[in-house]
Amino acid sequence: MNTSTSKNPPKIVVTGRIPEGGLDLLRSAGDVWAWSGDDPAPRDVVRDQLADAKAVVTLLSDQVDDDFLDAAPNARVVANVAVGYNNVDVDACTARGVRVTNTPGVLTEATADLAIGLLLASTRRLGEGERLIRSGAEWKWGMFMMLGTGLQGRQLGIVGMGEIGTATATRARAFGMDIVYHNRSAASAEVEQRLEARRLPLDDLLAGSDVVSLHCPYTAETHHLIDADALASMKSSAYLVNTARGPIVEEAALVDALGDGAIAGAALDVYEHEPDVHPGLLDLDNVVLAPHLGSATVETRTAMAELAARNVVAVLRGDDPPTPVN
């Protein structure tokens, strides 16, 4: 624990390990209790610390619900270190006068990079190739060995044309892909012109795209947005990439679609019941699996922690936070 030099410094609870740069900013504004383990802090340990906390920095593994807020009656701000905040009951926080903040923007480039990496790993069968080499099995080059599919002239369907979706589309355009997207509102004229992107209804996007990449937020409306019917409407040669949130995809339906050849492959960084992964996915060669690495660069995670800290500092000073949710 680190105590500031203020006479009565506000207590700030950090529920999980974050980069030191974020902690340094928090220490300048209050008395910081921070969990230092790599695993999530036990809920009872966090609850004990929340009783007199004025601010709480949370991670995706935390569920900020009524029970959590009951344990933190003095909290003024919950700063979620993530672009998403589906783990936070924003309405419950608002009803109690608790500000909620997140960390958008700073993870855009890293997540878009990973989406393209997963796209390439899936369409070029890199996961299968690496597993073959590591298995020690005999192999030799052949004209038809592990043929994948090229990207040039293929259609990429972006579901959710926000900052990350746009950044992913920009990278895909450099590979020669044609861009279509589905979004509640149209992208700017500049984005559409630069990417030669067309906005489509979701059904049309799914039916015509060679790769579908998910970048929409997780809400009640997007829960199982990609279900059995959606997967059945896709081309049998198509690939699905998900770097958004796991429950957007009905995982059991995806296992069936991959196993039956309804789609050619998938690449996932997030899971419906994370950190648990549907066991059916583990047995399939035509799916690439990553352990939620979307923002996992040193630079990005540091920027996320520092932005969350700046949000806390602003609220404790009585100012508007840089990235408010409510």
Is 223 among the catalytic positions?
no
Q: How far apart are CA 28 and CA 273, in angstroms?
A: 37
Q: Annotated catalytic residue: which of 76, 182, 245, 278?
A: 245
119 CB neighbour count, 10 Å cutoff: 24
**Under the phi-then-psi rule, with left for phi > 0, alpha for psi from -120 to 50, and beta for the rest, what region is 19?**
beta
Is 245 among the catalytic positions?
yes
Dihedral angle sign, alpha carbons of residues 58, 61, 63, 68: negative
Contact by Cβ (8 Å): 285, 258: no
Contact by Cβ (8 Å): 199, 221: no
Residue 184: CB partners within 8 Å, gap ≥ 6? none
Is 125 among the catalytic positions?
no
The per-residue b/e assignment along 23-33, b for 16 or more CB within 10 angstroms, e otherwise, is bebbbebbbbb
Q: Annotated catalytic residue: which of 47, 194, 199, 292?
A: 292
Q: Which helix (H) or strand (E) holds 94?
A: helix 90-95
Based on the number of CB atoms within 10 Å of its own CB, is 109 exposed (0-12), middle (13-18) or buried (19 or more)?
middle
* Residues assigned a catalytic role: 245, 274, 292
